[in-house]
Amino acid sequence: MGLRDKFKSAGKSIREIDAERLIDRFEKLRLAPLSELEPRFRTKACGEVKRMTIKPRSGIPSTEIVINDGTGEATVIFSGRRHVAGIEHGHCIVVDGVPHLDRNRLVFLNPAYTLLPQGED
């Protein structure tokens, strides 16, 4: 990183710097950005786990994971599970499923997923 790059990044917010980092990391996977996904079409998407919560849905505990790829966010819901093996805050995953819109947020319900190796930045 040169001196010129340091001055450019000095004027950016932490969110902008983080978004650029995520875009650079996921660019080589050549998957559609989360901001460009269309609901109701099977797709693969990737992102870094930003938030994890356990919420009841229709009386059944469900793990909700919010992923971010630098361009947008999506919520991944695993119904009937309090924990999903291997998925932790800060880990990166690829989800494969059919997203839908739920209260203006993109949601994947019980998708297939692949964990990405840690520290491959």
Q: What is the reported pTM?
A: 0.83
pLDDT at 6 > cutoff 80: no
| DSSP 3-state of 97 | strand
For 121, which DSSP code?
Answer: -
Residue-wise over 78-103: b if at least 16 C-beta within 10 A, else e? beeeeeeeebeeebbbbbebebeeee
- Reported as a single tens digit per residue, the pLDDT across 33-71 is 999 999 999 999 999 999 999 998 888 999 999 999 999
Q: Say if 45 falls within a structural domain.
A: yes
Strand partners, 95: 45, 113
CATH code at position 66: 2.40.50.140
> Are residues 50 and 67 in contact, defined by beta-carbon separation less than 8 angstroms?
yes
Q: Say if 14 falls within a structural domain.
A: yes
Return the pLDDT at 57. 80
Query: What total of structural domains would you count in the chain?
Result: 1
Q: Which residue has the tokens 């692949």?
A: 114
Q: Say if 121 falls within a structural domain.
A: no
Q: Say if 75 falls within a structural domain.
A: yes
| DSSP 3-state of 94 | strand
pLDDT at 8 > cutoff 90: no
Q: What is the DSSP string of 9-76?
A: HHTS-HHHHHHHHHHHHHHTTTPPPGGG--TTS-EEEEEEEEEEEEEEETTEEEEEEEEE-SS-EEEE
- Reported as a single tens digit per residue, the pLDDT across 85-117 is 899 999 999 999 999 999 999 999 999 999 999
Return the pLDDT at 120. 53
Q: Say if 44 falls within a structural domain.
A: yes
Return the pLDDT at 118. 80
| DSSP 3-state of 7 | helix
pLDDT at 17 > cutoff 80: yes
- Segment among 1-15, 18-32, 35-49, 85-99 with least mean pLDDT: 1-15
Q: Which domain holds residue 82?
A: 3-115
Name which of 18, 16, 72, 79 is nearest 45 in CA terms.
72
Higher-confidence position of 86 and 10: 86
Q: Say if 120 falls within a structural domain.
A: no
Q: Say if 25 falls within a structural domain.
A: yes
